[in-house]
Every structure is written in structure tokens, then in C-alpha cells.
Amino acid sequence: MGRVLYIRHGQSQANLAGILAGGSNDSNLTDLGRQQARQAGRALKNNSINKIITSPLSRALETAQIIAAEIGYDVQRIELDPRLKEYELGVGQGQSLEGMTAEKIVSFPGAEKPAEFAKRVKSALYSAWEDSGTVVIVAHGGVSRLIDCLRIGKDPKWFYDMPNHGNATVVELDLTWLKDA
């Protein structure tokens, strides 16, 4: 099993506006988000990166491309994995983050079932973990919250109540819990 590093995308327009973007909103990076992605790339320079896998949403893909350029990784080799897309919010997409809770997030009409969200993310994580060497995953805040939720054994419906990782923060994932999942 390899080493997996997780990076939430840089600041997006939706982050700046304080609204929920979700899996159907292709919110672009801000200038600050691009700067954050460059900083994440610089933080990875002393690592031997074997693979970069990203959500296909533009905010994650652009972050991955900027990181790849910073570390000298061939941008054409970046792998898109739709299993890493952000949680689908249904009618919650575009709503204000203020006062948002896991209970509200998962109850929006058209929202993805948390168990299905967990299933697709676990599948993507396991695939990345099976690779040898160091794999970088670039995805979203909801995905990182879900990972933390699953790691401690909480029901996935509570993922949104987990603390959020900062934009473009590099986190090394301990995925040993996947053996039991």
C-alpha cells in the first residue's frame, strides 16, 4: 500500500461568496486559490510523487494542474476520477453556508444519499491506496470531511459536522481504517 496525500482545492468563487457549491457547481478558483495551489505545490517539492488524481470539477482540476506544474509532474498524466466529486447537494446548491449543518445538508431535496457518497469516496481512496509510491488526491471540502468522519467510525450522514480542511492544505491520510470498511 502506498502513501496518500490529500489536498482540498484552492479557494473557489463559491468559497469566497460563502455559498455551497456541491458536485454540480463548477465554481472556478479565485486568484488567492491559484496562489494557495502554488504554495501546496511548493510544499510537495521534496516528495517523489508517483501519481496525481483529481476530481473532474474545475476548482480541483485547476488546483491539481498548478501543483503538477510546481513539482514538474506532467500535467497530461493527471487522472480524473469522478468518484472524488463533491457531495451532490440537490436544491441546496448555491445556498448560504451560514447556519448549515449535516442534518440540513443531507435533507435537501435531490441531495445525494450519504451512504452512496461514502461508497464512491471509499472506492476512490482504496484505488489510490493500492498504488505503490506517493499518490496525491485533489478534491473537495465535503470529501475531506467525509474521510475524517469515516476514519473515526461515524455515520456518513454526519460528515458535514466534521471540521473542514483549509483550502490547498496538504494532509497525509492514514487509510488503515479502509481494511475494516
Residue 21 is placed in which grid cell? 457549491
Residue 34 has which C-alpha cell? 491559484
| Dist CA 115 CA 106 (whole Å) | 11
Known catalytic residue: 9? yes
Which residues fall within 8 angstroms of residue 180, CB to CB, at 6 or more apart? none
- Give yes or no for a contact between 12 and 28, defined as CB atoms under 8 angstroms apart: yes
CA angle 67, 73, 75 (to 5 degrees): 80
**Annotated active-site residue in 62, 86, 88, 112:** 86
Q: Is the dihedral of CA 4, 7, 114, 22 positive or negative?
A: negative
CA–CA separation, 76 and 59 (whole Å): 17
Q: Tell me the catalytic residues.
A: 9, 86
